[in-house]
């Protein structure tokens, strides 16, 4: 029986997991990715991955290949029956190199702007997307942070817990008594009508914007390359021509760009100094995007309302990190992406299930139709 090839367009930890499921054994890079998300003991996760092909009915002649760099893709696609991609630009010319062999392009994500849908239709190639659990989780984390910061829940929580040391003689006795805001919680704000500034308007950004709009937030955003007006209209988003302009107008600034040379310490002294006095900074992306020394200065001097930090330059956070001394930061230990088990049982499962459907001659789920 002739082999059917699933080609992964990028060398990514998530795609390495699916490679493990298809080929029945992990590469070293796949092991590294599994240890990163699940810790030292990955026996349960490996068992689940290698059982996935039988669970979804994947034919036994399917094998996986990975492009370790983008230069390999044009030559490797000629032998591919299925292509799985994240950010790679899948153009009409690239698809033509498959010479009619390619049956399915499976996007590992929901946003498919990087795929020429019309070109795929012309060549008879199906295109399907994936609703990633991590995108939903990041959206929920950001909304949680917005509400927690706006109601100053950190201060409120400590005000109540601090009653264990109270010396005022009050006891749990007598008639019920009430006293509004007896903890003297300051700087409480209503979210509705305020402005959320998104730094990055990709797949996560648009989903965050949809959810934020439903609770009454206005949406502004900044990224280096402005997308189409149709994308902006989905959430009535307003484009800012610079990061400085965005932070000057936003009540909540949320970082949703990847880390790299272009975003290293993107939030420096100048940018942070231009944030509104009672605004909040939320970072579920990567720690290196913020100059943490500059952040310490604006937070310690109360020049902004506070911050929610899920990621840091060095993880776990070192004991000598000066930010740990501050009381206006909502800390979480890199959990915005959600439960790693969902990456396997939803993301990896759904990608393989779609490939299995097409291999059986069925339509994939979340099929993207050309206009």
For the cut 80, the answer to whether the pLDDT of residue 99 exceeds it is: yes
For the cut 80, the answer to whether the pLDDT of residue 108 exceeds it is: yes
Single out the catalytic residue among 315, 360, 362, 365. 315
334 noted as active-site residue: yes
For the cut 80, the answer to whether the pLDDT of residue 95 exceeds it is: yes
For the cut 80, the answer to whether the pLDDT of residue 1 exceeds it is: no
pTM score of the predicted model: 0.91
Single out the catalytic residue among 286, 292, 349, 357. 286
286 noted as active-site residue: yes
Task: Give tens-digit pLDDT for 199-243.
Answer: 999 999 999 999 999 999 999 999 999 998 999 999 999 999 999
Position 370 scores a pLDDT of 77
19 noted as active-site residue: no
For the cut 90, the answer to whether the pLDDT of residue 90 exceeds it is: yes
* CB contact at 8 A, 310 and 332: yes
Position 36 scores a pLDDT of 92
Position 167 scores a pLDDT of 87
Confidence tier at 91 by pLDDT (50, 70, 90): very high
* CB contact at 8 A, 83 and 90: yes
* CA dist., res. 77 & res. 65, Å (int): 10
> pLDDT averaged over the chain?
95
DSSP 362: P
For the cut 90, the answer to whether the pLDDT of residue 369 exceeds it is: no
For the cut 90, the answer to whether the pLDDT of residue 111 exceeds it is: no
Instruction: Spell out the alpha helix ranges (H) of the chain.
Output: 13-23, 28-38, 43-56, 73-76, 92-96, 117-122, 133-150, 153-161, 203-214, 229-234, 243-249, 269-273, 292-300, 340-342, 349-359
Position 134 scores a pLDDT of 92
Q: How much of the chain exceeds pLDDT 70, in percent?
A: 100
* CB contact at 8 A, 356 and 59: yes
Angle at 46 between CA 43 and CA 48, to 5 degrees: 110
């Amino acid at each position: 029986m002739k082999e059917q090839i699933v080609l992964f367009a990028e060398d990514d930890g998530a795609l390495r997991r699916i490679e493990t499921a298809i080929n029945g054994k992990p590469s070293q890079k796949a092991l590294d990715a599994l240890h990163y998300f699940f810790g030292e003991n990955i026996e349960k996760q490996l068992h689940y991955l290698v059982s996935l092909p039988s669970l979804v009915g994947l034919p036994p002649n399917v094998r996986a290949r990975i492009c370790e760099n983008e230069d390999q893709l044009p030559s490797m696609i000629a032998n591919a029956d299925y292509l799985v991609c994240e950010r790679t630009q899948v153009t009409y010319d690239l698809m033509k190199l498959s010479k009619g062999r390619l049956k399915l392009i499976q996007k590992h994500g929901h946003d498919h702007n990087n795929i020429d849908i019309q070109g795929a239709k012309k060549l008879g190639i199906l295109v399907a997307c994936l609703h990633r659990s991590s995108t939903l989780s990041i959206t929920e984390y950001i909304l949680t942070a917005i509400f927690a910061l706006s109601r100053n829940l950190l201060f409120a929580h400590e005000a109540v817990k601090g009653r264990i040391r109270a010396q005022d003689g009050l006891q749990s006795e007598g008639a019920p008594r009430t006293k509004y805001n007896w903890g003297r919680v300051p700087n409480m704000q209503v979210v509705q009508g305020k402005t959320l500034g998104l730094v990055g308007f990709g797949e996560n950004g648009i989903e965050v914007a949809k959810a934020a709009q439903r609770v009454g937030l206005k949406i502004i955003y900044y990224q280096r390359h402005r997308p189409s007006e149709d994308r902006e209209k989905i959430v009535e988003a307003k484009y800012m021509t610079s990061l400085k302009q965005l932070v000057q107008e936003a009540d909540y600034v949320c970082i949703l760009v990847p880390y790299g040379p272009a975003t290293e310490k993107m939030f420096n002294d100048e940018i942070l100094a231009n944030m509104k006095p009672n605004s909040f900074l939320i970072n579920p992306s990567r720690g290196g995007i913020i100059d943490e020394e500059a952040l310490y200065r604006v937070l310690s001097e109360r020049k902004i309302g506070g911050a929610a930090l899920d990621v840091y330059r060095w993880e776990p956070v070192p004991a000598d990190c000066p930010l740990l001394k501050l009381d206006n930061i909502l800390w979480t230990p890199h959990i915005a992406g959600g439960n790693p088990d969902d990456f396997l049982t939803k993301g990896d499962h759904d990608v393989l299930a779609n490939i299995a459907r097409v291999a059986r001659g069925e339509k994939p789920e979340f099929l993207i139709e050309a206009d």
